[in-house]
Structure 1
């Protein structure tokens, strides 16, 4: 009887024991979760100690206050995050931008997204606009007008011109579509929700052959009186399709440069389809057009943030490229207390030996106190580093493996006066730029993104690769100044005073008179580039 009573009592108490056990386990999980959030967010993955989440402004892997995944309203929330991981995750690995996005720009972007969805390929309105191409003139009041972008030059140029074309689309109420060549497949995510920005492969016009002398170009047609360039001309007096040539050689024929003139923009605005080929960052030139100026000022109260904001909105590496970025970052860079990016390139207009370029980089990093000096004593006890010290990481992106070897060996063979550990890394060194190669472009894009995670940047004068990296990072870089007689100049580098990239080949004449003039006199907010004297850039 007693045994039966004890058994009954035990059975009756089991639910309470289970409940207490569950409460205990849940409490432990909550404590563990809290502890995890209050300490550095670290995990071991496949043998690598990696950090998730954002870093502090010093580049450490410590947990921080959650960042704004939509970048102040810049990004649309209407995406499946898994379809493009970089869109909402890039900001976790960059220093927070100090620049506020204007409400007018965010409103403009949301309206554009609706227009793009309405006019994108395979929609009824797109098909209606295609029919217009078969006719011999443009049509007034067509609901969807387009600017088509075609890739030119390397990945840096392409990113600069994509942003330029997109800003032009915003200003002119056009829809931007891009010509996807084989070396552009699986580079970027779709930037607009619910639609595509890729031109269909069966587009009826072959856009490969257009160049500076093309008879369908605006400059050629005006020069040969094939169109009436009077801004009062009706759309029926204009062709349905026009090519705009703004590549490096567009100033060989002055009429190509009239793209930046007010009256000519009135004419171009009436043409239904525009093909733009450019290797220039033409944004500063758009500020020269009076009809655009007011809208540009509303979108960008701070003029030097144009690429910084539109680049972060428009350009997101595909999941394939993002995987490359994250694998490298977590393996080598995530634990660094500070990340220093060095982007080095030798251009034909500024020849310099690898040895001389190496010396230039070393002198720059020393006089600007970017990296610690070497210890001449060479004794082990002179090092103040401890096992717990987080190294400073130097990321070298360059076509040249020898340059990386020299910088790496310098900090391998010598201790530093501060006792700091300097780790040097280089993701790739292809030796030569490989145009039209998808894998090369993917690696280049991954390296641009890795550079944009830096705390300090040193870039080569005139390098579009560098322009994109520092603009995305919201960092004003140190420019390695161009060589003179194959020797590096003194001083070897100079800090940029603005954030926006340089327009290398701006127009240099007054529209109304065609008289030559200094480009910076053609609009407010313009000055010559520190790294490329002929060019112009935006400043505040």
Structure 2
């Protein structure tokens, strides 16, 4: 124990002595040891509604287990515009009970594993059923959107959620979200989970995929298929027509009795679930305000592990806490960063900041005297490159007396690198504490930050990687997003009832519309302007 305290003390000394340089860079030492001595070991205490996020969170955890869980709300000066519905809160408490009953180590879980190993299909209604979220080699933002999507589907279909343990080292990044159990699929050389070795190999061509099972059944002479012990749902980009049938009521009924659903995706499928008639009613009761789905589920599900949270809070106290107003800029280029391209990205950000007066308080707030002036503004820059930080500091430093800050600059995105992911997660949370957000279109990193914040960002359109990069700044350089919700990057355009494609997927229901950053994507937006 003494050694652990000493390591923690070294981390704190590294923080105090190592920061404050030109780039305010976040030291790696904060990700190698947590400060243990200051943790509150009391098993229980009085928690406020604010700490419990108006009922989203259970009070069943101790503070020692995860500091971010109940400290999170204290770093957000804005009061949330939307509170979770009582129905959603009740659903979450019910789901926590389901996770405890069906989770790893329980008798129902052992029975479900036995049946999976033997190849038994659907059982009686008393069996536990599962959704396994399978991660793969993509950025942390993509993986977080995929886990939220799998969780939402698990709650809707009354299944326990298990996250594959190799999904970007989830255990190192996040605290357990469900009291009294784990959300991690046990990792023990495959001796207990019969098809663990298959998980990473599953793709759109796998015979266990819903698309291939439907194609095989359609071509067989039999009109009925045997019960499936598990089904792989291939919902990432590049799927086939039969995979899209997941979003049809007929296939939702068919999947209802399958004990194990293995979900692989790299996007946020909630808008697609709202287009499924049989799911829409329950989703509407859970989320009467459709543009707050990720805001509620992300804050419920993701709690940075203590080492990550220590980095977030230490940096915030040192560089951001004294500012009267925080402006966050998330800059991303999707092509090789040539000098010409970098100048276009920089000028686009600066043009947006000038045009929309992002460094000034809103006129209504300024007139009412409820906010400070621009001299108290601080700017937080998140980017893989340090080049933007230096130019923005030179350009805006005089208008931002609170300073221009960049916690880290990784140079490039590194998948399956735990330290890289920890720094990325800390910057998502730092960005989400800002009062105003300027984000780059297409970016799942930005989606997560704006969703956690509940802030409608100013969005800078960017051309996707498969097109030629922008040669000049678009006009206008940015637009206000309709909601904080992430975009669904791979929606199904198939109208199951009409058995043809939608004439306009953005007009099927009032609260699903096309995205600002790509017209072929969709997002949730109910027209609210209260954010």
TM-score (norm 1): 0.80
Give 1:491 deviation, angstroms: 0.4
What's the CA shift string for 1:395-433, capped at 9, x where partnerless? 111111111111112245xx44xxx51511111111111
Give 1:512 deviation, angstroms: 3.7
| Cα distance change on mapping 1:184 and 1:228 into 2, 3 Å | farther
- Which has more radius of gyration? 1
| Cα distance change on mapping 1:136 and 1:524 into 2, 3 Å | farther
Residue pairs, 1:138-537, within 5 angstroms: 138-141=121-124, 142-152=126-136, 153-181=138-166, 183-202=169-188, 203-205=193-195, 206=197, 207-225=199-217, 237-250=226-239, 253-348=240-335, 353-371=341-359, 391-412=376-397, 415-416=398-399, 421-482=401-462, 485-517=470-502, 518-537=504-523
| Cα distance change on mapping 1:524 and 1:497 into 2, 3 Å | closer
What's the CA shift string for 1:418-462, capped at 9, x where partnerless? xx5151111111111101110010000000000010000000001
Distance in 2 separating the partners of 1:443 and 1:209: 29
Give 1:391 deviation, angstroms: 3.5
TM-score (norm 2): 0.81
Structure 1 residue aligned with 2:118, among 117, 120, 135?
Answer: 135
Whether the 8 Å CA contact 2:360–2:374 is kept in 1: the answer is: no
Give 1:359 deviation, angstroms: 0.7
Whether the 8 Å CA contact 1:280–1:504 is kept in 2: the answer is: yes
What's the CA shift string for 1:284-307, capped at 9, x where partnerless? 011111111111111000011110
Distance in 2 separating the partners of 1:107 and 1:389: 43
Which consecutive residues of structure 1, in runs of 5 or more, have no partner in the other structure? 1-44, 50-65, 374-387
Comparing 220-229 with 180-189, greater Cα deviation is found at: 220-229
- Where 2:51 maps in the other structure, the secondary structure is coil
| Cα distance change on mapping 1:409 and 1:228 into 2, 3 Å | farther
Residue pairs, 1:75-90, within 5 angstroms: 75-90=57-72
Comparing 518-527 with 428-437, greater Cα deviation is found at: 518-527
Whether the 8 Å CA contact 1:411–1:422 is kept in 2: the answer is: no
Whether the 8 Å CA contact 1:306–1:500 is kept in 2: the answer is: yes
| Cα distance change on mapping 1:480 and 1:349 into 2, 3 Å | farther
Whether the 8 Å CA contact 2:341–2:470 is kept in 1: the answer is: no
**Correspondence 1:111 to 2:80:** no
Distance in 2 separating the partners of 1:322 and 1:439: 14
Whether the 8 Å CA contact 1:222–1:229 is kept in 2: the answer is: no
| Cα distance change on mapping 1:485 and 1:291 into 2, 3 Å | same
User: What is aligned with 2:12?
Assistant: none
- Where 2:97 maps in the other structure, the secondary structure is helix
CA RMSD of aligned residues (A): 2.5
